[in-house]
Amino acid sequence: MSGLTGGDFSCKLLNMFIRAVEHKDKKNRKKYRTYKLVESVRTERGPRQITVLNLGADFKLPKEHWKELANCIEEIITEQQTIFEYPKKIRTLAEQYARRIIQKQASVIDEEKQSPPDYARVDLNSINNEQPRTAGAEHVVYETIKLLGIDKKLEELGLKPVDIAAIIGVLCGRMIVPGSERSTHYWLQHISGLGELIDFDFSLVTLDRLYKASDHLLKHKEEIEAHLRKVEIGMFGLEERIMLYDLTNTFFEGTGKYKAKARYGRSKEKRNDCPLVTLGLVLDSQGFPKRSRIFEGNVSEPRTLETMIRGLSDEDDSQKSLLRPTIVMDAGIASEDNVKWLKEHNYRYIVVSRKKKVEIPPDIKMVPVKQDEKTKTVLVQAGLVFNKETDEMELYCHSVDKEKKEESIKNKFQERFEAELLKADKALHLKNGTKRYDKVIEKIGRLKEKFKRVSHLYKITIQKDDDSGKATKITWERKKEKKASGVYCLRTNQKDLNEKEIWDIYTMLTDIEDAFRCMKSELGLRPNYHHLERRSDGHIFITLIAYHIMQTIRIKLREKGIRFCWNTIRVQLSSHMRISTTVKREDGKVIHIRKSSRPEPNHKEIYDALGFPSQVGKTLKAIM
C-alpha cells in the first residue's frame, strides 16, 4: 500500500494474511514474536508483501483462524458481500482492525478551508451508515479538561499517555454516564466517540487500567487540587473572601470491612443499614471546591473544622492574615469550641446559632432581606442585635417558607400523636386493651418519647378509678405556645455588615448543598461498590474533579445567560453524533467518510457560549 495519496489506495486489497515475525530482545537476548496483517501486491520488481497493520505482540488468536480474520477484514474494508458467516469473536476483531486500517489510511479534510470539489460516480444503493458514536457531551467535557489544564498537569506529574487517556475516559464517563468502571469501560469502547476526539483507541485499554486511573489521581491529590484552585482563580477572578464549609456522608454497598474509614452512623440518605464515609468540603462563593477530605463515617462534625480550614490562609504572613476569608458554616459544625478557634486564628465567620429555642427579641427592628420579585411580598425579614457576652452580632431571621414547612411538619406529627392518644383512650374500653393505670402511664410516656417534637405542646390527663386501679379516661389539650416557627439566628464577628449582607452570605450555604446534590445525583458519587479503601477514596476524588469540570461549564454558561443544570446539558448534547458513511464508486472502490453530524441550534448555542468550536472531531476520508 505504498504510494498512497489523499487517502486513496493504489490497488484494491487482495491476498491479505497474518504473519508472525520473530525478534530478539537486545537486552536479555530473549526471543519474542509480533504479528502483522500483510498484503501481497505485484510490483515491477515482482510480488512484495506490504504491512497493512501491526497487530502487536499480544495478538492471541489461534493460527487456524488467521485466514478467516484476514478475509473478514478485507470484506469489511471493500464492502464485499459476506459469503460465509464468521464467528462472533472473528467478526468483532475484524471490525476493530478494519476501523484502525481505515483511520490509518484516511486523509483529514479541513472543512474550514475552501477545498476544490471532489466529484465521483457512485452507486447510491450501496450507501451505508455505521458506527454511530456520541460526541457532543464528550466534546464539551474534553475541551473543559484542556481549558483547566488537567491533561497538561497529568503530563507534568509524569503519567504515561495511556494512563492520561484512561483518566480522561473515566472523568468523561463519570460526567456523562455515571456508573462503575466496568460500565464506563463498555461505554468508551462501544458507545462514545471520545477516543476519536483525543486520538486514542479505547479498544486497547483494559478494565484494570481504568481501575488504576483513580490510584494515579489519588496519589497526586494535593497537587491536582492546588492546580485547579490556581487555574480557577485566574480564569474567573475569584477573590476567595468567603469560604463555605459543610460535610455529607455517602454509603457503600457491602460490609466495608476492608475500609478503615467505613463506619456505621446516621446516614443523611436514610441508609443506616450501610457503612458510611464522610466527605468534608470547602467551597468558595462561586461554588468551586478548595479543599476536600474523607473522614470516618461516624466522625463528629465539629471535630473536622480545624483540619479543613487550617492552611487556607498563610499563617506566617501578617499581610495575608488580614485578608483571611469569612468562614460560613451551619449549626452542625458551629460548636462553641470551633467558634473560639476561628476567633483565636483571626478568621471572620457567619454561622448558624445552636440555640435550642429561637425567639425574636421584642424590641428588635425587622427589615426585609428577601422579597418576591413580582408581588414584592416579604419572604424573609431579619433584625440585628449586639450580644455583649459574646462580642458578636446576632441576626434573627424569619422566613415565611420555613414557617410553612415547619408548621406542616409539626401538624403531621400532632395529627399522628393525637391519633395514638385516641387509640390509647379507646383501648381502655376494649376487652384486651391496656387498662391498668400504671401501664397506661408507661404507654403515654413511650408516646411522648416517640413524638417528643410535639408532645411538650400538650397537657395530658389520665383519669383513674381508685376502686379498680384502672384508668378510665385519657384527655388532652394543646398548650398555648409562642409562635417561633420559621425563626433562626445567625451569629457573626463582622460588625460592619448590615442585615441583608449577612443574610446573603449565609444563603451561599445552599451552593454547597447544591454541590453535594449534584455529586450524588448527577455525578455518580453514590452508590460506591468498591471494596478497597484506596479505590473508594479514588471514586470520591474522581467525582470531585468531575464537579470542578461541571462547575466551570455552568459558570461559563451563566455568564452568557444560560442556566441549564448539567443533566439538561448532557441530554441536549447527546444527539450530536459521529458516524461513518460508506459508498461504492463506479470503479468498485469504496469511499469511507467519518465525520460528525451537523450541530443543531441547541448544540451550537452551548458550544458558542462556552467558546468551543462547533466542528466536533476530524473529518476523515479514505478510498479503498
What pLDDT, on the 0 to 100 scale, is given for residue 260? 58
For residue 113, being part of any structural domain is answered with no
For residue 578, being part of any structural domain is answered with no
Last residue of a domain, one of 219, 252, 276: 219
Read off φ and ψ for residue 273, nearest 5 degrees: -85, -5
At 4, the pLDDT band (50, 70, 90 cuts) reads: very low
**Claim to verify: residue 354 and residue 366 sit in the same structural domain:** no
* CA angle at 356 for the pair 351 and 360, rounded to the nearest 5°: 75
pLDDT of 48 higher than 60: yes
At 448, the pLDDT band (50, 70, 90 cuts) reads: very high
At 8, the pLDDT band (50, 70, 90 cuts) reads: very low
**Claim to verify: residue 92 and residue 165 sit in the same structural domain:** no
Which residue matches cell numbers 447510491? 124
pLDDT of 441 higher than 90: yes
Write out the E strands in 97-184.
107-109, 122-134
**Claim to verify: residue 86 and residue 32 sit in the same structural domain:** yes
**Claim to verify: residue 461 and residue 376 sit in the same structural domain:** yes
- DSSP assignment string, 189-216: HHTB-HHHHHT--GGG--HHHHHHHHHH
CB atoms within 10 A of CB 615: 16
**Claim to verify: residue 228 and residue 351 sit in the same structural domain:** yes
Residues in a beta bridge with 129? 581
* Per-residue pLDDT tens over the stretch 376-415: 899 999 999 999 999 999 999 999 999 899 889 999 999 9
The 3-state DSSP class for residue 21 equals strand
CB atoms within 10 A of CB 357: 7
What pLDDT, on the 0 to 100 scale, is given for residue 318? 39
Encode 76-104 in three state secondary structure: HHCCCCCCCCCCHHHHHHHHHHHHHHHHH
Query: In CATH, what number is assigned to the domain containing residue 313?
Result: 3.30.420
70-79, 196-205, 318-327, 456-465: segment of lowest average pLDDT: 318-327
What pLDDT, on the 0 to 100 scale, is given for residue 254? 52
Residue 581 C-alpha cell reads as 458513511
pLDDT of 259 higher than 60: no
Q: Which residue range(s) make up the domain with 499?
A: 222-358+486-558
Cα separation of 453 and 463, whole Å? 25
Mean pLDDT, all residues of the chain: 85
At 5, the pLDDT band (50, 70, 90 cuts) reads: very low
What pLDDT, on the 0 to 100 scale, is given for residue 272? 57
**Claim to verify: residue 352 and residue 497 sit in the same structural domain:** yes
Which residue matches cell numbers 383501648? 427
% of the chain exceeding 90 in pLDDT: 46
Q: How confident is the model over 231-260, as a mean pLDDT?
A: 75
Among 165-174, 425-434, 506-515, the range of highest mean pLDDT: 165-174
**Claim to verify: residue 301 and residue 234 sit in the same structural domain:** yes
For residue 367, being part of any structural domain is answered with yes
Beta carbons of 451 and 412 less than 8 angstroms apart: no
For residue 281, being part of any structural domain is answered with yes
Beta carbons of 526 and 579 less than 8 angstroms apart: no
What pLDDT, on the 0 to 100 scale, is given for residue 354? 87
pLDDT of 532 higher than 90: no
**Claim to verify: residue 48 and residue 60 sit in the same structural domain:** yes
Beta carbons of 365 and 383 less than 8 angstroms apart: yes
With b meaning 16 or more CB within 10 Å and e meaning fewer, what string describes 514-544?
A: ebbebbbebbbbbbbebeebebbbbbbbbbb
Contacts of 507 (CB under 8 A, 6+ apart): none
What pLDDT, on the 0 to 100 scale, is given for residue 158? 96
Last residue of a domain, one of 90, 105, 120: 105
**Claim to verify: residue 185 and residue 280 sit in the same structural domain:** no
Cα separation of 536 and 101, whole Å? 39
pLDDT of 297 higher than 70: no
**Claim to verify: residue 227 and residue 297 sit in the same structural domain:** yes
What pLDDT, on the 0 to 100 scale, is given for residue 273? 54
Number of domains in the chain: 4
411-414 contact pairs (CB < 8 A, 24+): 413/451, 413/453, 413/454, 414/454, 414/457, 414/478
Contacts of 296 (CB under 8 A, 6+ apart): 261, 262, 263, 277, 278
**Claim to verify: residue 280 and residue 395 sit in the same structural domain:** no
Residue 268: is it exposed, middle or buried by C-beta count within 10 angstroms (0-12/13-18/19+)? middle
Beta carbons of 242 and 255 less than 8 angstroms apart: no
Packing angle, helices 207-219 and 161-176, rounded to 10? 90
181-195, 264-278, 442-456, 494-508: segment of lowest average pLDDT: 264-278
Q: What is the DSSP letter of 117?
A: P
Beta carbons of 364 and 383 less than 8 angstroms apart: yes
Cα separation of 186 and 203, whole Å? 9
What pLDDT, on the 0 to 100 scale, is given for residue 475? 93
What pLDDT, on the 0 to 100 scale, is given for residue 247? 80
- DSSP assignment string, 132-145: EEE-HHHHHHHHHH
H or E stretch including 622?
A: strand 619-623
Beta carbons of 328 and 244 less than 8 angstroms apart: yes
Last residue of a domain, one of 558, 573, 593: 558
Cα separation of 539 and 211, whole Å? 9
At 211, the pLDDT band (50, 70, 90 cuts) reads: very high
Q: What is the DSSP letter of 610?
A: H
Q: Which amino acid is at 577?
A: M
pLDDT of 451 higher than 60: yes
* Per-residue pLDDT tens over the stretch 591-607: 989 999 999 999 999 99
Q: How confident is the model over 504-521, as a mean pLDDT?
A: 84
For residue 611, being part of any structural domain is answered with no
For residue 593, being part of any structural domain is answered with no
Packing angle, helices 207-219 and 221-236, rounded to 10? 70
Residue 86 C-alpha cell reads as 464468521
* CA angle at 134 for the pair 129 and 136, rounded to the nearest 5°: 125
pLDDT of 531 higher than 70: no
Beta carbons of 556 and 610 less than 8 angstroms apart: yes
**Claim to verify: residue 190 and residue 243 sit in the same structural domain:** no
For residue 173, being part of any structural domain is answered with yes
For residue 617, being part of any structural domain is answered with no
